[in-house]
């Protein structure tokens, strides 16, 4: 049975109509209500900030380090929202548990930009990391939109003959911005978090006129071979689980190493929260990071 905390949280999401938040933001044009654009210094041992293509790139490290692994983390937010405090708290927990360094780019967002500017910026950041770290020491990780972005970036890196990371960790990933999977309609009533139509609208803004079936926007349509190890976390009560399950089957058919973690009764991006199930997922993510360190 789901924890009491998670059940109360789902009730609260329905009471505040969280499902309608993105639609209201689209109508008002205000997407920054929950922004925490810079990492709180109290959470991290060392924080450095540089600019790439006019955007902030943060490097977060523990004092003294302790791990040979470095993570490139792409945040969620439907391609229209920046980092939130929940992201920084989550990344702080990973660093404290593993000693990894994390690079967190504040990539260009819709509606001011499209995926083209986002890819230009983030691929440049990744290439810079490969000058400091062997690809076998790199992990690509992202939640929600950032999870889809991470997989699409890995596909582009492979196509561009850039060394791919050792591991890709996708947290409640948005794998198809068209949301055309027919299973989504049956999942929608159980999801108190994500609204299908508003997500489709912001997906089109991010696409900027490019077809939403393009694999850089919807990596479920791209190749999965040769990308390194992939791990996917999804909640059974989120609409995005439909494509997470589909990705699992596609990986199997293509002979790709994919570890799949589906949590019963969990909502979108629950691993960023503080339920017992969040802590369990976080422990599994930490184990994946440590396993990468041991097998490099």
Euclidean distance between CA atoms 48 and 58, whole angstroms:
6
pLDDT at 295: 56
Global pTM value: 0.96
Indicate the domain borders of the chain.
4-293
pLDDT at 254: 95
pLDDT at 212: 97
| Superfamily (CATH H level) for 4-293 | Alpha/Beta hydrolase fold, catalytic domain (3.40.50.1820)
pLDDT at 296: 45
Please tell me the number of Cα atoms within 13 Å of 197 on its side-chain side.
5
User: For residue 17, is it left (φ>0), alpha (ψ between -120 and 50) or beta?
Assistant: left
Q: Where are the alpha helices (DSSP H) in the chain?
A: 4-15, 21-28, 85-98, 115-132, 145-159, 184-187, 196-207, 241-253, 276-295
Q: Phi and psi at residue 181, in whole multiples of 5°? A: -60, 120
User: Could you read off the pLDDT tens digit of each residue along the chain, which spans 296 residues?
Assistant: 899 999 999 999 999 999 998 888 888 888 777 688 899 988 998 999 999 999 999 999 988 777 899 999 999 999 999 999 999 999 999 999 999 999 999 999 999 999 999 999 999 999 999 999 999 999 999 999 999 999 999 999 999 999 999 999 999 999 999 999 999 999 999 999 999 999 999 999 999 999 999 999 999 999 999 999 999 999 999 999 999 999 999 999 999 989 999 999 999 999 999 999 999 999 999 999 999 977 54
- Residue count (the chain): 296
DSSP, residue by residue, 109-177: -TTTS-HHHHHHHHHHHHHHHHHHS-GGGEEEEEETHHHHHHHHHHHHHHHTTPPPPSEEEEES----T
């Amino acid at each position: 049975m789901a924890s009491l905390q998670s059940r109360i949280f789902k009730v609260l999401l329905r009471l505040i109509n969280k499902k309608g938040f993105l639609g209201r933001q689209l109508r008002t044009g205000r997407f920054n209500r929950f922004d925490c654009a810079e990492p709180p210094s109290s959470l991290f041992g060392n924080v450095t900030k540089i600019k790439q293509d006019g955007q902030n790139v943060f490097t977060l490290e523990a004092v003294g380090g302790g791990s040979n692994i470095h993570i490139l983390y792409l945040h969620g937010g439907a391609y229209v929202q920046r980092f939130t405090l929940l992201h920084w708290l989550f990344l702080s927990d990973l660093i404290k548990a593993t000693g990894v360094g994390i690079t967190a780019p504040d990539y260009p967002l819709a509606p001011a930009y499209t995926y083209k500017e986002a890819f230009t910026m983030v691929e440049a950041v990744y290439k810079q990391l490969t000058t400091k770290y062997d690809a076998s020491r790199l992990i690509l990780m992202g939640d929600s939109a950032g999870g889809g972005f991470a997989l699409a970036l890995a596909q582009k890196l492979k196509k561009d003959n850039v060394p791919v990371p050792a591991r890709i960790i996708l947290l409640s990933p948005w794998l198809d911005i068209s949301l055309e999977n027919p299973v989504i309609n049956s999942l929608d009533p159980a999801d108190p978090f994500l609204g299908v139509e508003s997500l489709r609208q912001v997906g089109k803004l991010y696409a900027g006129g490019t077809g939403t079936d393009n694999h850089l926007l919807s990596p479920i349509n791209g190749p999965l071979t040769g990308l390194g190890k992939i791990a996917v976390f999804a909640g059974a009560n989120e609409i995005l689980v439909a494509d997470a399950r589909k990705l699992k089957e596609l990986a199997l058919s293509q002979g790709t190493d994919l570890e799949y973690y589906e949590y019963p009764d969990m909502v979108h991006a629950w691993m960023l929260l503080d339920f017992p199930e969040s802590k369990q997922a976080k422990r599994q993510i930490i184990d994946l990071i440590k396993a990468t360190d041991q097998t490099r």
